Chain A
Amino acid sequence: MKKVSKDILTCIIIFSIIIGGLYFGKVPDYLELGMEDCKKYMEENGLFLTIPRFTWKVESAFSEGLSYHKDFMDFNSAIQNNMGTVLIDKGDTTVVKSKTGFLSYQRDKMPEISLMKRARNVAKLHHVAEENGAEFMYVLAPVKGYNMEFAENIEDYNKENCDIFLEELKKVNVPYFSLIDAMEEDGISEEEMFFITDHHWKPEYALWAAERVCREFKNRYGFEYDESKLNIDNYNSVQYDDWFLGSQGKKTGQYFTELGVDNFNLITPNFETHFSDTQVGKDYYKEGSFEEILIHRDHIETKNFYTKNPYASYLGGDYREEILKNNMIEDGKKVLVLRDSFSCAFAPFFALNMGETYLLDMRDFAEFAGERIDVAKYIEELRPDYVMIMYTGVTGDDIVYEFK
């Protein structure tokens, strides 16, 4: 009888946990979303191929929809941290903790043939740009993990992949600029540049990068720019303490690193600015100052580690095609930037010295599924002064190097 009572107690507690997770959670919402997705997928791929997607969506719903999903993740992150775990496998990505406690994505070695192909595609675009009278530059944005020290048993190929890719760019005579080298010149460590829990650079270093890139354009192509617009002394800064759990932290839980969550520094110019911002294909047009239109406060006003992304307070996130017009500069230069998410924080600062900044994100966006931008054609029509590709490391899919 006594034995039974301890099992009954166990069951009461655990059933309460199970029921609580379901009752207070959002499993039905997740299921509904998942089923809508499956319906669409089935129309294109048929029933048989949809089954694995269906089971995966159900499994996700019964994990992410539990009321305590985030709390359990945080709880697990604390356990893993105390157990000495440095690697969390998330299926599609693996997050590793460096010896300094920073989180990073572990990268596998990329096939050299793939890196070579990417470099060749860049070279082709370089020629297209030149044929259309534009100066070209490939900017290698820093990648978190390039110079970080990990436990000896962790294999990470961020550095090797980048180095091989730059070698390939050199072989095909593409003018490139490595912000990783620039970091070294300026004595900036990865721990300074990057968030602890996110793979992006901090806004103050995106500003630094904008200045370095402008300087590089000046040195190579005689581009004239106003240095004062990229001097941090001319910026207002508001620090949000313990405000940001980055994408890597969101995957591991907030206690995986003993360094804790990130502070977020929102920096904005303290000089006069005026922009217009168009998101093509989204019926979005706005005019106003840097703060009014390039800062999206809804991402930072309230603190929520798992639903908010303060990094996206710059530009508001990723869009397929966006045009920033700087109304403070007459007859300014026209620049086309092929971007990834590093440009969210970079582009607003960079655009301060440009007349028109055209941003193209070559990743696949759900609302434009299957539609690829023909960059060569885009250049022919736009006739920009500069064409720039800026990607972090070589981490993206091959697709972002396909310019048609």
Chain B
Amino acid sequence: MLFSSTTFIYMFLPFTLICYYCILRWSRTAQNVFLFLASLLFYGWGEPKFVFAMLGSIVINWFFGLLVHKYKSENKLPLAKLCIGIDCFFNLGMLFIFKYLNFTADIIFSFFGEHSPIGAIALPIGISFFTFQAMSYVIDVYRDRGEVQKNILNVGLYISFFPQLIAGPIVRYETVAYEIQNRKETWDDFFEGFTRFVIGIGKKVLIANSVAVVADEVFGFVGQGPVSTAAAWLGAIAYSLQIFFDFSGYSDMAIGLGKMFGFHFLENFNYPYISKSITEFWRRWHMSLGTWFRDYVYFPLGGSRVKSSRMVFNLFVVWLLTGFWHGANWTFVVWGLMYFVLLTVEKLTGIVNKEGKLINIIKWAYTMLFVIIGWVFFRAENLSVGLDYLGYMFGINNQDAQSLLYFKAMLNQSLIIILIGLVCSTPIFKIIGKKIKENFITNLIYAVGVALIFIMSVSSLVSSSYNPFIYFNF
């Protein structure tokens, strides 16, 4: 089920809230069981068979969580570590089968000039997210960053909780371990969370879906005819806006919904497109994934407090995995490795530490240039399309008068939404909001504004079937 659907807004959410707050308010256990079951319904809506994959993951991780806790408390650390190893093997194995088996088999068989005999394997929605969360549970239990859950339903709730289930943020166990049993719902959180949810819907439906039309059109045209340089840039910028508003909108919805039920997830985005270096960009973009890799891969490998060559290796491993995490395609590998190179250069040279007005503009331009190039590979079906697209962007491939007409037509249809997207990707409204003195009138204006966003979003949802969601594939 999608948050940005009338079924969720008008059926699932009201029903869940009424049951949670009115019928089950007397028992935390009942509330948790209900949220777990509701999450299964949410996940299985339309594709119920994948529920079993997730249930399997819940059972295994709950079991290993208990084992790790047992051995840890008995001071049998090697056994505890072995359990973590087996648990990771299971989780990554499941991820491998669903997500990477075909890719690997294709490579192996292509060496022998043959086609892989393995048929298409359907990808359970959000498997990359819930697998990483599941591993986080067992590891955090070992690290004493959260209580072990004896009740399997609580582990089930942590892994499958519907707000963050299918598109993150990746909520680490330590973040919500205490709140699973001891959270305190407040009206402040409830109202704030709902407002955040509505703003997230607006980002997703009004901006991401609109710019997606432009991105899809331009990327779809690659290989079919000449694309003008201007159109290629328009498409790349449109996609950059799409992925940001799509994903950050979904994160807003998830964080908001979490708050409505008393959970406090960490932020996932912090205006990444104002970054003045790639390092800063990754502190602002998909923060939950970055910190996951940092805490569970980069630091265990030694982090940056090691020899330069080792640090470079550590970075290589992290960014190779980050690329692969997004999908089984060479485009994601190239995308990840591009960031490895850029981050290594930034770390080793310290080149981005220089300050100054003009320098900051140059730094921002450099950052955005590579971020946009990165998104081109991220969006491309394969490396060849990605390279062709880059060729269009930098005027290498041929173009004709017709392609300019295409560009003008596209620009006419998308200029307003692109401009809105560019403005909204900066913290301008946040800054204005802080400067405005709050009183009833300003609050009313704000409320009406958010309500208008809601009406526009629902209007769009009931009018059009175009509602793509990028991170469902991950």
Given known pairs A79-B456, A87-B213, A91-B465, the reply for A7 and B413 (CB within 8 Å) is no
Query: What chain B residues lie within 8 Å of A62 (beta carbons)?
Result: 6-7, 10-11
Kindly list chain B residues whose C-beta atoms are within 8 Å of the C-beta of A14: 194, 198, 450-451, 454
Contact of B194 with A7 in the complex, beta carbons under 8 Å: yes
A253 within 8 A of B: yes
Partner of B465, one of A73, A86, A89: A89
Binary CB contact string for chain B from 389 to 415 against chain A (1 if under 8 A, 0 otherwise): 000000000000010011011101111
Complex interface residues of chain B between 181 and 217 (CB less than 8 A to chain A): 187-188, 190-192, 194-195, 198, 210, 213, 217
A22 with B413, Cβ < 8 A, contacts A10-B195, A76-B463 known: no
Contact of B10 among A66, A85, A89 (CB under 8 A): A66
A73 near B46 with CB under 8 A, answer no
Contact of B412 among A8, A18, A75, A84 (CB under 8 A): A84
Q: Out of A18, A52, A86, which one reaches B14, CB within 8 Å?
A: A18
Say yes or no for B416: interface residue by CB 8 A criterion. yes
In the complex, per-residue mask of B105-138: 1 if CB is within 8 Å of any chain A CB, else 0: 0000000000000000000000000000000000
**A399 on the B face (CB < 8 A):** no
Contact with B along A329-353 (1 / 0, CB 8 A): 0000000000000000000000000
Residue A104 lies at the interface, judged by CB distance under 8 Å to chain B: no
Q: Verify A11–B465 contact, CB threshold 8 A.
A: no
Within 8 A of B (CB), among A150-182: 151-154
Q: Is there a chain B Cβ closer than 8 Å to A4's Cβ?
A: yes
Do A84 and B413 form a contact, CB below 8 Å, given A10-B191, A13-B451? yes
Partner of A2, one of B5, B45, B416, B443: B443
B464 at the interface (CB under 8 A from A): yes
Q: Contact partner of A72 among B413, B444, B447, B455, CB < 8 A?
A: B455
Say yes or no: is A5 at the interface (Cβ < 8 Å to chain B): yes
For A51, the closest partner residue in chain B by CB is B48
Question: What residues on B are CB-neighbors of A13 within 8 Å?
Answer: 447-448, 450-451
Asked if B11 and A73 make an inter-chain contact with CB atoms under 8 angstroms apart, the answer reads no
B223-253 interface with A by 8 A CB criterion: none
Task: Kindly state the separation between the CA atoms of A58 and B447 in the bound complex, as whole angstroms.
Answer: 30
B274 on the A face (CB < 8 A): no
Pick the contact of A63: B6, B45, B194, B456 (CB < 8 A): B6
- B406 contact set on A, CB distance < 8 A: 152-153
Selected from A76, A84, A90, A151, the residue in CB contact (under 8 A) with B460 is A76
Answer whether residue B67 sits at the interface, using C-beta atoms and an 8 A cutoff.
no
Give A59 to B1 CA distance when docked, in angstroms: 10
Interface of chain A residues 17 through 49 with chain B (CB within 8 A): 17-18, 21-22, 27
Q: Are A66 and B462 in contact (CB under 8 A)?
A: yes
Which of chain A's residues has its CB closest to B194's CB? A11
User: Given contacts A7-B195, A83-B417, are A63 and B48 in contact (CB under 8 A)?
Assistant: no
Asked if A88 lies at the interface with its beta carbon under 8 angstroms from chain B, I say yes
List of A residues within 8 angstroms of B459 by Cβ = 72-73, 75-76, 79
- The contact string, 1 if C-beta is below 8 Å from chain A, for chain B 1-17, is 00001110111001000
Fill in one digit per residue for B69-86: 1 if any A CB lies within 8 Å of its CB, else 0. Answer: 000000000000000000
Q: A18-B10, A152-B406 are in contact. Are A11 and B462 (CB under 8 A)?
A: no
Q: Is B438 an interface residue (CB 8 A)?
A: yes
Cβ contacts B417-436/A at 8 Å (1 or 0 each)? 10000000000000000000
Q: Is B402 touching A17 in the complex (CB atoms < 8 A)?
A: no
User: Do B46 and A51 touch across chains, with their CB atoms under 8 A apart?
Assistant: yes
Residues of chain B contacted by A154 (CB below 8 angstroms): 409
Tell me, yes or no, whether B33 is within 8 Å of chain A by CB: no
Q: Does A302 contact B (CB under 8 A)?
A: no
A326 within 8 A of B: no
Interface residue range, chain A: 35 or more
Report B-chain residues with C-beta under 8 Å of the C-beta of A73. 459, 462-463
Inter-chain contacts of A69 with B (CB < 8 A): 462
- When the two chains form their complex, are residues B464 and A151 in contact, meaning their CB atoms are under 8 A apart? no
A4 to B194, CA, bound (A): 12
> How distant is A91 from chain B, measured CB to nearest CB, in Å?
3
With a CB–CB cut-off of 8 A, which chain A residues contact B409?
151-154
B266 lies within 8 A of chain A by Cβ:
no
**Does chain A have a CB within 8 A of B458?**
yes
Question: B366 contacts which chain A residues (CB < 8 A)?
Answer: none
Chain A residues whose CB sits within 8 angstroms of the CB of B210 once the complex forms? 83, 85
B178 interfacial by beta-carbon distance below 8 Å: no
Q: Residue on A with the closest CB to B193?
A: A7
Q: Could you say which of A3, A17, A52, A84 contacts B415, with CB atoms under 8 Å apart?
A: A84
Q: Give the distance to chain A from B472, nearest Cβ to Cβ, in Å.
A: 15
Assess whether A83 is in contact with B416, with CB atoms less than 8 Å apart.
yes
User: Residue B446 at the A interface, CB < 8 A?
Assistant: yes
CA gap between A151 and B406 in the complex, in Å: 8
Q: Is A90 within 8 A of B464, CB to CB?
A: yes
Give A94 to B450 CA distance when docked, in angstroms.
30
Tell me the bound Cα distance from A41 to B101 in angstroms.
Answer: 36
The verdict on B466 contacting chain A, using a C-beta distance below 8 Å, is yes
Q: Does A77 contact B (CB under 8 A)?
A: yes
Q: Is B176 an interface residue (CB 8 A)?
A: no
Question: Which B residues, 144 to 191, have Cβ-Cβ distances below 8 Å to chain A?
Answer: 187-188, 190-191
Per-position binary interface string of chain A over residues 192-231, scored 1 when its CB falls under 8 Å from any chain B CB and 0 otherwise: 0000000000000000000000000000000000000000
Which residues of A sit under 8 angstroms from B402, Cβ to Cβ?
152
Measured in the bound complex, the distance between the Cα atoms of B11 and A58 in whole Å is 9
User: What are 23 A-B residue pairs whose CB atoms fall within 8 Å in the complex?
Assistant: A4-B191, A4-B192, A6-B443, A7-B188, A7-B191, A8-B191, A10-B194, A13-B450, A14-B451, A21-B10, A27-B10, A51-B46, A58-B11, A63-B6, A63-B461, A66-B10, A73-B462, A75-B456, A76-B459, A84-B413, A89-B213, A89-B465, A89-B466
| 13 further interface pairs, Cβ-Cβ under 8 Å (given A10-B446, A11-B194, A76-B464) | A4-B192, A7-B188, A7-B191, A10-B195, A22-B10, A51-B48, A55-B7, A55-B45, A63-B6, A87-B213, A89-B464, A152-B406, A154-B409
Chain B interface (Cβ < 8 Å from any Cβ of A): 5-7, 9-11, 14, 45-46, 48, 187-188, 190-192, 194-195, 198, 210, 213, 217, 402, 405-406, 408-410, 412-417, 438-440, 442-444, 446-448, 450-451, 454-456, 458-466
